[in-house]
Amino acid sequence: MGEFGPGIDEPDFVWRTIKGVIEHLSDINTIIEKAAPEWPLDQIAIIDRNVLRVGLYELLFADKNEVPPKVAINEAIELAKAYGGMNSPKFVNGVMGTIYRELGGETKEEEEAKETKKKEKKESKKEKK
């Protein structure tokens, strides 16, 4: 790990993640195939495929207190931006978001509704002043 991850201050976390992805690889692959049916697994770029595997392991199988769902999604998107192709972040976001919504997480519409309510509250407070 010293060669590929100098300065990593939590090597136990890295090893748990690697072992977890390997242990759940078959399940994770099946989930990717269902979430992106138009993309056979072997046609997904290797970087994107592995970013999804790590992200989905964190989202579905890891300790939620250690890696909250939205953090897992954001980290996967950031890895895709850093190491994937031009469309990788959008693809990873789409797959991870689809799975998150299926788990009962907030939809885009729910998030937008929350933002609208926040803005309305701010405007209401300004009007009262």
| CA 67 centroid distance within chain | 10
Task: For residue 88, give its domain range.
Answer: 11-128
Give pLDDT, residue 92: 97
Mean pLDDT of the chain: 87
Instruction: Specify the pLDDT at position 38.
Output: 93
pLDDT per position as a tens digit, 10-44: 778 888 999 999 999 999 999 999 999 999 999 99
Per the domain annotation, does 5 fall within a domain? no
Q: How many domains does one find in the chain?
A: 1
Q: What is the CATH number of the domain that holds 124?
A: 1.10.940.10
> What value does the mean pLDDT take over residues 63-70?
89
Q: How confident is the model at residue 96 (pLDDT cuts 50, 70, 90)?
A: very high
Residue 3, in any domain of the structure: no
